Amino acid sequence: MRVPAPLSLVALGLVGSTVAHPLIDHEEVLGRKSDSQEKAEAVKEAFQHAWDGYMKYAYPHDELHPVSNGYGDSRNGWGASAVDALSTAIIMGKTDVVNTILDHVSKVDYSQTDSEVSLFETTIRYLGGMLSGYDLLKGPAARMAHNPGLVDTLLVQAKNLGDVLKFAFDTGSGVPYNNINITSKGNDGSSANGLAVTGTLVLEWTRLSDLTGDDEYASLSQKAESYLLNPKPSSAEPFPGLVGSNIDIATGKFTDGHVSWDGGDDSFYEYLIKMFVYDPTRFALYKDRWVLAAESTIEHLQAHPEPRPDLTWLASYDSGSYSLNSQHLTCFDGGSFLLGGTVLNRQDFIDFGLELVHGCEATYNSTLTKIGPDSWGWDPKQVPSDQKEFYEKAGFYITSGAYILRPEVIESFYYAYRVTGKEIYRDWAWNAFVAINATARTDSGFAALSDVNAPNGGSKYDNQESFLFAEVMKYSYIIHAEDAEWQVQTGGKNNFVFNTEAHPVRVQHT
């Protein structure tokens, strides 16, 4: 979904139970139902706690500083936590919160900011948040808005934001600059743009076009994506479907052949299959590219640590050599294989997705706090001497023990549960949520942690990223919530698809 944690931080049943469990008796089904309702309620309590702290100490700024009860404006000061919380508040049925956010969005001036704008972060959090709110409030949550005019304003504001940002694509190739100055219409002078930040725009920008009837946004994002779908030179695609990490902005050619599913590359692969879910007619090529990447990943990138051959993670590859390390960010991978597997009816992808889910669960359940680290390795030649015992038991050593409220592990538990209907994945999501609530919670919200393998998670880092609201709270909730139109479904029956910030947008029916 995004770039790795900053160094400074590092330093410091759908299928319904009945189908999936044909042998369990009725009472047990009912027992589980009320149990999952209680868990869903407990997640709502945590969301409300964080929302109240944000409103009290930080609103209308971007994020709460949950230790000092201060605030930050890391996302241009447009109220990132409010906009990122909208789709979760809708899904949780929190009418007051929803109406507060609708009111907020109507007042934002997206043409003004003091700081550099990230095209990627702005797209996935603000644009995705508003488009999702619009789709939900025009559809399954239609009765929540007190002032229906403010729902229309969501789309107006999404278009305003798109119009502010679109000059970023005005380059020699159409590959955008990521870091832009919206006042001067300038940029940071980069010669290359990253794979994920280039390839994680197309869902939101296409949705904006499909809702407004103005094709420009879709065209711009799909033109940029075209270089990723037809990678040049051939050295940029060392295995079919797996491509390099950086693209020259002037020419659209890749500048390297470094291959991974880690931060910086991750959501490019995520969006290939999600675009097919969004519209299988227009995005068949995207699906073909995802299938190639998935097959190559199973063949070339899957790795099993020496002490724990039962575990599976993805290595990265560059010029003939492999790096045996992975990241919390990478753990969206299980969910991606599960979504692709169910949509394309490929049991091999589902099975491999579950192996990845198990590998990520192992990074959680091996630590003292039961929360997984931001990054880890399993190269037997590089085990730090003070982690030898841990490595022999857990199968990995920790390279960054931080936890910055990332969602990817719980996200993949969610896909595993929706696709298989197996309760174990709900249990794992619950364990993770309980651990986060027990370790990261402060009097006003949730803080990042410096070391998940230290008592109490080490020290608390004074920041609460907006994606706590959009992602951690949402996936923790919907895995226990009842079936609904916006939930992930098995097979090809999805009515919504989640952007990389967990904002569900309505798929295009053809």
Ligand X SMILES: *[C@@H]1O[C@H](CO)[C@@H](O)[C@H](O)[C@H]1NC(C)=O
Q: So which residues are the catalytic ones?
A: 374
Q: Closest separation between CB of residue 437 and ligand X, Å?
A: 4
Q: Which is nearer to ligand X, 111 or 319 (CB)?
A: 111
471, 433, 447: which is closest to 87 by C-alpha?
Answer: 471
Q: Tell me: cis bond preceding 60? Omega within 30 of 0 counts.
A: yes
Which of 210, 199, 211, 224 has the alpha carbon at shortest distance from 281? 210
d(CA 410, CA 499): 15
Q: Is 99 in the site for ligand X (CB under 6 A)?
A: no
Q: Does 365 bind ligand X (CB under 6 A)?
A: yes
Which position among 10, 40, 434, 454 is part of the footprint of ligand X (CB under 6 A)? 434
Told to check if 437 binds ligand X by CB under 6 A, we report: yes
Is the distance from CB of 348 to CB of 354 less than 8 angstroms? no
Please identify, using beta-carbon distances, which residue of 361 and 451 lies nearer to ligand X.
361
Instruction: Tell me how far, at minimum, the Cβ of 97 lies from ligand X, in Å.
Output: 19
Residue with Cβ nearer ligand X (116 or 152): 116
Residue 441 interacts with ligand X (CB under 6 A): yes or no = yes
Contacts with ligand X by CB under 6 A: the residue count is 14
* Closest-CA residue to 348 (of 285, 298, 383, 391): 298
- The residue type at 180: I
Q: Does 462 bind ligand X (CB under 6 A)?
A: no
Does 362 sit near ligand X (CB under 6 A)?
yes
Does 181 interact with ligand X (rule: CB under 6 A)?
yes
Give 104 or 358: the residue with its C-beta nearer to ligand X: 358
Cβ pair 367, 452 in contact under 8 A: yes
Instruction: Judge contact between 417 and 429, C-beta under 8 A.
Output: yes
Q: Is 152 in the site for ligand X (CB under 6 A)?
A: no
Selected range binding ligand X among 88-96, 137-145, 361-369, 496-504, rule: CB under 6 A: 361-369
Distance CA 508, CA 202 (A): 14
Q: Considering the rule CB under 6 A, would residue 42 count as an interface residue with ligand X?
A: yes
**Is 369 annotated in some ligand binding site?**
no
Query: Does residue 48 belong to the site contacting ligand X (CB under 6 A)?
Result: no
CB of 370 to ligand X, least distance (A): 9
**The binder of ligand X chosen from 8, 34, 184, 321 (CB under 6 A):** 184
Q: Does 156 bind ligand X (CB under 6 A)?
A: no
Residues 227-286 contacting ligand X, CB under 6 A? none
**2 vs 358, beta carbon nearer ligand X:** 358
Residue closer to ligand X by CB (options 3, 434) is 434
Answer yes or no whether residue 370 interacts with ligand X by CB under 6 A.
no
Residues with Cβ within 8 Å of residue 39, at least 6 apart in sequence: 426, 430, 433, 480
Look up residue 401 and give its amino acid: G
Using the contact rule CB under 6 A, the part of the chain among 179-187, 317-325, 458-466, 491-499 near ligand X is 179-187
Establish if 74 lies at the interface with ligand X (CB under 6 A): no
In degrees and rounded to multiples of 5, residue 57 shows phi and psi of -110, -20
Our CA angle for 271, 273, 274, nearest 5°, is 60
Q: Is 368 in the site for ligand X (CB under 6 A)?
A: no
Amino acid code (one letter) for 443: D
Would you call the peptide bond into 233 cis, given omega within 30 degrees of 0 as the criterion? yes
Residue with tokens 């053809």: 510
Tell me the window of 74-82, 178-186, 270-278, 321-329 that interacts with ligand X (CB under 6 A).
178-186
- Residues 336, 342, 345, 348, Cα dihedral to 10°: 50
Closer to ligand X by CB, 227 or 477: give it. Answer: 477
3-state secondary structure 175-232: CCCCEEECCCCEECCCCEEEHHHHHCCHHHHHHHHHHHCCCHHHHHHHHHHHHHHCCC
115 binds ligand X (CB under 6 A): yes
340-359 binders of ligand X (CB under 6 A): 358
Residues 61 and 87: their CA atoms lie apart, in Å, by: 19
| Binding residue ranges | 500
Return residues touching ligand X (CB under 6 A): 42, 46, 115-116, 181, 183-184, 358, 361-362, 365, 434, 437, 441
| Binding residue ranges for Ca(2+) | 500
